[in-house]
Structure 1
């Protein structure tokens, strides 16, 4: 009888007895599966019995009656939005105007820190381990007068433990724009030129990209040029083209990605002519695309971020099935958590499926597995991290979530891919692991004090409202009740 020569290896973390949905190349779903983690990397994925025979771990998590998944990825959101939820009470124009005022003159460093801390906490709690955030919003109004604001955002992400890509770029023309700084209650205004915005963006890239063991990364963004939709932009055409060259040069010089917010109806074909498309580019919203737009994305390996819960997806449709059929990578985004959304990517998966099935009057559109790919491996590829995250495979970063399957709305215990895409929500996530570190265990966050984060966010919001005089946007309009329209 031969002696078993198997060497038992010591590792940091072993997850056992779970339903492991790998999203690997074979799209394996392993019943009674296990994942082994050493440091920040996955070292084995397989049957529980097999891995228990090979490994002993400092920490073991029993995932019995839980799904084990790659951490979910949000391909498009906005920093700052977390403290602007529902302002304007249904008046999207008032909300957009509020964004401009708050992001340029009403926010201080602690606003951006508190908002990032709150957003990272929400993501962590609902299993969204990676998120892209444009550093500002509204109609492309960015906080890029000074690098200290983005630094405080990155501080918050670093401390919370999640993974983030912060997109920095200039505000929409015209410029200079007035930005305010605060020393207590004392406000000081400055006119910020495009040259100053560019210098700020480059400083943010050089000082923040790759922070926190690679969890904090930076990419470049620009306002979308679509003169057919907004003819007043034509007067700035030379500026849009100059900035395209300048900022794409910045992205290539530092080896970072490029993203844009708000493509539609021919603007992607125009962006191709501006040199903005390519395999490191991922473009958001992209509604009512023309055949030339789709062809341009396919020809350049440009990815699309679809935000099915966003206001822009009410105004037009991102042709996701058509893009997929053309070979374009499509990922999902939340579009941020304001005015009326969340960082719960389960919610956006469900919305995506029903949105497109209704359009085609076809319940067979967008299979459940494809939609799960759009928040895992496809999203990772879109944002340039496909070799590192997005699936449970040996050598990849250990970004892993556990989802409770033993709940009334998730039962019976079968067809797990369907369960997590159709029935799960963020509250079903019990464990969140990023870079091999258990950030949340049995629903309890280990890295930050939840109550303190929420109190910090409330203080920052109250201060911002007082500075901007926007208290009236917190009052529900008379049309809230009884009528069919605001």
Structure 2
């Protein structure tokens, strides 16, 4: 018999391999964090002498889920949102947060993700833009994720050069309970981003990666008028916008990191016209992830396909109500790799990728008026192996295959909503929840078992995060900001068919 660290046996394995094999009463052998064998329950049990056996009876075994796009900070401000006045996000992040805030958010988000079965997640430090007036915010967030033990892609980068509200070069620093204004430059955010990359990329035994988060490679246009941040670019702005985008390309090439950016319909055609095809093909490529991508044109889908650029949709975000859907079926038909993401845990989203899968399916089917669009099996691949491809990690994670790292989750299928247990992929996608995940591991290290997080004290994480956000709220309001304006109340909230803007600022 061969020695082994871990044997997971007697579960139903959804491999997500190229054949989409489903193995009933299957077993997985893990040694040194790597999957070394997969087979039938009895076969592997007789072959190996494991240090630890996990009985996966009444469980479905999946690769750990992968969230390809979300924002750090959001875990701390869930539910604080008004459709007319927005939410505190960037104002709070840039003016009322501290190093402890970003550490608390890192812990809270990582635990929240872990308990929903997500073992790898992107976290842009802040909303749009990322907050990089200091590397300390990213440092503390990465430190927290390292402690919890999941994988993370930390997004850092400069503000937008033009967009109102997203071209921030001023923040508030708190020391000894007192605020002071901090004026900084665009170049300082670039230097701070470099520091984070140099310190954290491929750290924590290769579990933490860093990407460059640039708000909009091709701008945010007046045609996106349902969004509060757009810009009417002048001729003299175009060389500046192109040079800033090209700077991201040079840095990504130098450090071997991805570029993570937003794109909406018309923007890529605008870039094609203003930058030229040669420059677009230099900017875009397999190491570029485009978030949202609502309202893309046929020409834009063609360019994305030709450049092998990747997509992270966010079906639970507000964008589908502003710009229509991301045309996922058309992208897939064109050979584009598309993943489903959460966009974070606020103001009304969730880190639960099961919810995002269902929302993705419903949006596509409603648009097409056809229930055959986006099958459940493809939806599962979009948060596992396709998501791994989006992040350039498909050789390491995303499927249960020999030679890959053992990022694995177990789902309790012995529940009423998984009855009858026949078409398991459809049951998971249509009825599943992150709350059904019982066990999760990264590289074979068990981070959660029987829904108990083993690396940190979950109750202490919640207590600490609540204390830190209350302090942040106090700082926020002491600077003259209001939280109350973001909260919904009154008879209309409870009985109306829609909310009504009361006209207050």
Identify the TM-score tier after normalising by the shorter chain: over 0.9
Instruction: Mark the CA change 1:231 to 1:182 in structure 2 (over 3 Å): closer, same or farther.
Output: closer
1:205 equivalent in structure 2: 197
What is aligned with 1:458? 466
Alignment correspondent of 1:285 = 292
Per the alignment, residue 22 of structure 2 pairs with 29
| TM superposition shift of 1:374 | 0.2
Q: Among residues 406, 412, 415, which one is paired with 2:420 in the alignment?
A: 412
The alignment status of 1:102 with 2:92, answered yes or no, reads yes
RMSD: 1.5
Separation in structure 2 between the aligned mates of residue 391 and residue 93 of structure 1, nearest angstrom: 42
Decide which of 410, 435, 452 is 1:427's aligned counterpart. Answer: 435
Q: Tell me, yes or no, if structure 1 residue 91 matches structure 2 residue 60.
A: no
Displacement, 1:67? Answer: 0.3
Task: Name the CA shift for 1:372/1:176 in 2 (closer, same or farther; >3 Å).
Answer: closer
Distance 2:43 2:104 in 1: 45
Which sits farther off after the overlay, 235-244 or 177-186? 235-244
Confirm or deny: 8 A CA contact 2:85 2:485 kept in the other structure: no
What is the aligned partner in structure 1 of residue 337 from structure 2?
Answer: 329
Report how far residue 101 of structure 1 moved: 1.3
Q: Give the distance between the partners of 1:383 and 1:265, measured in 2 at CA.
A: 22
Conservation of the 8 A alpha-carbon contact between 2:74 and 2:346: yes
Equivalent position to 2:54, from 31, 41, 61: 61
Which aligned pairs between 1:240-319 and structure 2 lie closer than 5 A?
240-261=241-262, 263-271=263-271, 273-274=279-280, 275-315=282-322, 316-319=324-327
User: Residue in 1 aligned with 2:227?
Assistant: none
Moved over 6 A (4+): none
1:345 equivalent to 2:353? Answer yes
Task: Judge conservation of contact 1:271–1:277 (CA < 8 Å) in 2.
Answer: no
Query: CA contact under 8 A between 2:222 and 2:232: conserved in structure 1?
Result: no
How far is the alpha carbon of 1:228 from its aligned partner? Answer: 4.4
TM-score under structure 2 length normalisation = 0.91
Residue matched to 2:220: 226
Q: Which residue of 2 aligns with 1:239?
A: 240
Match of 2:393 in 1: 385
Structure 1 alignment gaps of length 5 or more:
1-7
Cα pair 2:3 2:50 within 8 Å, conserved: yes
Deviation at 1:292, TM superposition (A): 1.0
1:117 aligns to 2:104 (yes or no): no
Match in the other structure for 2:150: 162
**1:135 aligned to 2:147?**
no
| Superposed displacement of residue 176, structure 1 | 6.4
Aligned length: 473
Partner Cα separation in structure 2 for residue 176 and residue 284 of structure 1 = 21
Q: Normalized against structure 1, the TM-score is what?
A: 0.94
Query: What is the CA–CA distance in structure 1 between the aligned matches of 2:462 and 2:403, rounded to whole Å?
Result: 36
SS of the residue corresponding to residue 312 of structure 2 reads: strand
Q: What runs of 5+ residues in structure 2 fail to find an aligned partner?
A: 224-229, 273-278, 500-505
Deviation at residue 149 of structure 1 after TM alignment: 1.0
1:271 Cα deviation from its structure 2 partner: 4.9
> Do the aligned partners of 1:266 and 1:292 also contact (CA within 8 Å) in 2?
no
> Where does residue 483 of structure 2 map in the other structure?
471
Q: Distance in 2 between matches of 1:349 and 1:176?
A: 34
1: CA distance, partners of 2:315 / 2:72: 19
